[in-house]
Amino acid sequence: MKDIIEIIKTRRSIRNYKEDPVPDEEIKFLIDCARYAPSGMNMQPWSFLVIKNKEVIQKLSENGKKAMIPLAEQMVDDPRKAPGFISFLKTKGTSLFYNAPLLVIILGNKKSLTADWDCAMAAQNMMLAAHSIGIGSCWIGFAMPALMDEKILKELGAPSGYKAVAPLIFGYPRGETAMLIRNEPEVKWLR
Ligand SMILES: Cc1cc2nc3c(=O)[nH]c(=O)nc-3n(C[C@H](O)[C@H](O)[C@H](O)COP(=O)(O)O)c2cc1C
């Protein structure tokens, strides 16, 4: 276990993984850390879908890429600006989840006003806890267009009344990932 500040400052989004599976005990540890996150009125409006099955992850990746194409084309007004991304989405076999051995989708209870923020808090706990034990992670927001499809979510086994909030991949990092530049934020002080 490393110091919390060191963990916060050295976590990176990992996009290259070893094939080694994340043991169930470690997954339980990450979910245990998630449930200590703060939540509005302590509602804890989260539920966790743990997906270790490679075929299921790859099928969701294909559905996710298909659902992302129109959005990506809208986001990128000039296709010459991000040719790699659009062609990545259009190529069969490329993985939206970077071939990570584990996908955890944090679901939020639709009845809760604060579910999105609560689940994001839980996600950060999981990603920091993972980093503290040598497990890499990355939030895959590009999976959201597919996960907003009720049929896909139901097929994955999501309980009714829940929506996908945070699709997170985990696994053992292959190689090093350099720190990205952090901007100086605008800070206004009133004294
Ligand atoms: C809400 C959210 C959605 C993200 N979606 C993706 C994604 O779909 N694919 C991806 O490769 N990275 C995704 N990321 C990771 C960011 O690109 C990454 O956090 C950012 O570039 C900063 O890098 P770092 O996490 O290594 O510090 C996402 C991050 C967040 C917080």
Is residue 14 exposed (0-12), middle (13-18) or buried (19+ Cβ within 10 Å)?
buried
Q: Look at ligand 1, atom 11, and give the residue with the nearest C-alpha.
A: 140
List phi, psi (to 5°) of 103: -125, 125
Band the pLDDT of 136: cuts 50, 70, 90. Answer: very high
Pairwise CA distance, residues 82 & 170, whole Å:
26
What tokens appear for 36 in the block? 């200590």
pLDDT at 16: 97
Q: From the CB of 138, is ligand 1 less than 6 Å away?
A: yes
Q: What percent of the chain has pLDDT over 70?
A: 97
Q: From the CB of 119, is ligand 1 less than 6 Å away?
A: no
Q: Quote the pTM value.
A: 0.96
Distance (angstroms) between ligand 1 centre and the Cα of 25 equals: 26
Distance (angstroms) between ligand 1 centre and the Cα of 46 equals: 21
Please, what are the domains in the chain?
A: 4-64+95-171 (3.40.109.10)
pLDDT at 40: 98
Q: From the CB of 163, is ligand 1 less than 6 Å away?
A: no
pLDDT at 73: 86
Averaged pLDDT for residues 105-130: 98
pLDDT at 151: 97
pLDDT in tens, 157-174: 999 999 999 999 999 999
Pairwise CA distance, residues 166 & 119, whole Å:
7
State how beta strands 136-139 and 162-171 pair. Answer: antiparallel
pLDDT in tens, 71-92: 988 887 776 667 788 889 999 9
List the end-to-end C-alpha distance of the chain, in Å, as a whole number: 38
Q: From the CB of 130, is ligand 1 less than 6 Å away?
A: no
CB 69 within 8 A of CB 92: no
Report whether pLDDT(38) > 70.
Answer: yes
Which of 94, 138, 181 is the pocket-test mutation for ligand 1 (most atoms within 8 Å of CB)?
138
pLDDT at 1: 54
| For the CA of 177, the nearest atom of ligand 1 | 26
